[in-house]
Structure 1
Amino acid sequence: MEEYRPALPVSALEQDQKVAFYKKTYTYLAFSVLLFVVVEYLFLQVDFIVNIGLQMIQGWTWLVVLGLFMLATNYAERLALRSKDKTMHHAALFLYVVAEAFIFVPLIFIALQFSEVNGTAVLTQAAIMTLALFTGLSAIVFMTKKDFSFLSSALTIGGFLAIGLIVAGMIFGFHLGLWFSVGMVVLAGGSILYQTSNMIHRYEEDQYVAASLGLFASLMLLFWYIISIFLNE
């Protein structure tokens, strides 16, 4: 009878196993970003999709979209984490990337229009800053080997607070402005620390797709609000 061996987190694996896991995770993350760019480009070529995207950000519709998107994020991460089916993992990641691309349609469209009028490469600048912050925050986790799981409650509270502010802005008609975007960048930074820490201390050797999904979600949240900051300048 085969001896039962409990599943080990990545942090407990041999060094070569850790390296292999990290390579797979960040390879999937890179392919997810590439897929996002391709799907986003295709979406922007279809006027019908662009019009739907622009209509989504009007009034209460946008709040509903954000709510559904948060639920989709949570569901996709849990599905990829709990299921042992690799096909399910890949499907969850693919569908999530496509959903992200659709959510980004109005923001990317506005950023492109802004760049044409002001002669500023907003998306390029935002992408460079996003990559720099993501790399720096990830490096902190790897160098300190600290478990940032304690951020979970703060991130949850921050997420609900953000939704509350969005609701208040819609009810009372005030613009959340630059400082809200700055606060959300801080929240996204905390999410990157949390997800990178999870990748090391929580995920198992065969859950690299789930780990890449969590990292991708945090990366896109950061990218969204860095773009917003550039548009608010």
Structure 2
Amino acid sequence: MEQFRQTLPVSALGEDARVAFYKKSYTYLAFAVLLFIVVEYLFLQVPFIVETGMQMMQGGWTWLVVLGIFMFATNYVETVAIKSKDKTVHHAMLFAYVILEALIFVPLIYIAIQVSGARESDILTQAAIMTLALFAGLSMVAFTTKKDFSFLKSIITIGSFLALGLIVAGTFFGGFELGLWFSVGMVVLASASILYQTSNMIHKYEEDQYVAASLGLFASLMLLFWYVVSIFLSE
């Protein structure tokens, strides 16, 4: 009976257990965001990391390789975190993914800081507020409707491959600019991912997988933040 209870999804648990799971998941998400901010700040203090990030972002195919590695790592850590029952593995995957995200974000954050100084406006703060507002709104939709958004997985997968294809086209064909509408489309895709991940947290995860749930939410949140920043930069 104990083994059976351990395999129950969160949706089948009592209200107190569900609330405890949600609190743990969002607490770990908050810690992940805080760790990201701290690590990102430290990375930006190292000229070598900033210069390397800028060179790779402006290097065309090299940035495409970085994005490919990033997509593979995202799928890998999420899969390992979900399948593994070892909380140590869950924590390690979340920590490693936060560090990877911080590295990927270095050139974008650096550019945003420079542009903010030129425009005398805080792009990062504006983008963060917009991102958190969208995240909160989408999370509320998932919780209030209690709908299973697992059907979005195929849409997200197709959208991700389409986006990667457009990035490849933009990389190898110099005159092909992705532009503002690509970022808007990616915001829509990230929003779908947030609905999907929140729905999984409500309906799919087991009681001891709160770290894995926070990892999925963090990945979707950072994807949304990346393209919200990109939209602000394109104005």
Q: TM-score, normalised by structure 2?
A: 0.97
AA paired with 2:158? I
How far apart are residue 190 of structure 1 and its match?
0.2
CA distance in 1, matches of 2:97, 2:190: 17
2:187·2:227 contact (CA, 8 Å) conserved in 1? yes
CA distance in 2, matches of 1:89, 1:213: 9
1:232 alignment partner in structure 2: 234
2:112·2:124 contact (CA, 8 Å) conserved in 1? yes
How far apart are residue 74 of structure 1 and its match?
0.5
Structure 1, 82-91 or 140-149: larger mean CA deviation: 82-91
| Paired residue secondary structure (1:204) | coil
| Paired residue secondary structure (1:8) | coil
AA paired with 1:31? F
Q: Deviations over 1:45-89 (max 9, x none)?
A: 000000111011121011111110011001101111111111111
Are residue 42 (structure 1) and residue 66 (structure 2) matched? no
2:138·2:194 contact (CA, 8 Å) conserved in 1? yes
Q: Deviations over 1:166-211 (max 9, x none)?
A: 1111122121100000000000000000000000111000000000
2:182 alignment partner in structure 1: 180
2:60·2:172 contact (CA, 8 Å) conserved in 1? no
AA paired with 1:198? N
**Regions of 4+ moved over 6 Å:** none
| Unmatched tracts of structure 1, length 5 or more | none
2:159 alignment partner in structure 1: 158
Q: Deviations over 1:128-177 (max 9, x none)?
A: 00000000000000000000000000000000000000111112212110
How far apart are residue 3 of structure 1 and its match?
6.5
Alignment of 1:69-218 (within 5 A): 69-173=70-174, 174-218=176-220
AA paired with 2:44? L
| Paired residue secondary structure (2:149) | coil
| Paired residue secondary structure (2:4) | coil
Say what the alpha-carbon RMSD is for the aligned residues: 0.9
| Unmatched tracts of structure 2, length 5 or more | none
1:28 alignment partner in structure 2: 28
AA paired with 1:157? I
CA distance in 2, matches of 1:105, 1:221: 14
C-alpha change, 1:46 and 1:3, in structure 2 (3 Å) is closer
CA distance in 2, matches of 1:103, 1:74: 16
Structure 1, 184-193 or 169-178: larger mean CA deviation: 169-178
Aligned-residue sequence identity (percent) comes to: 74
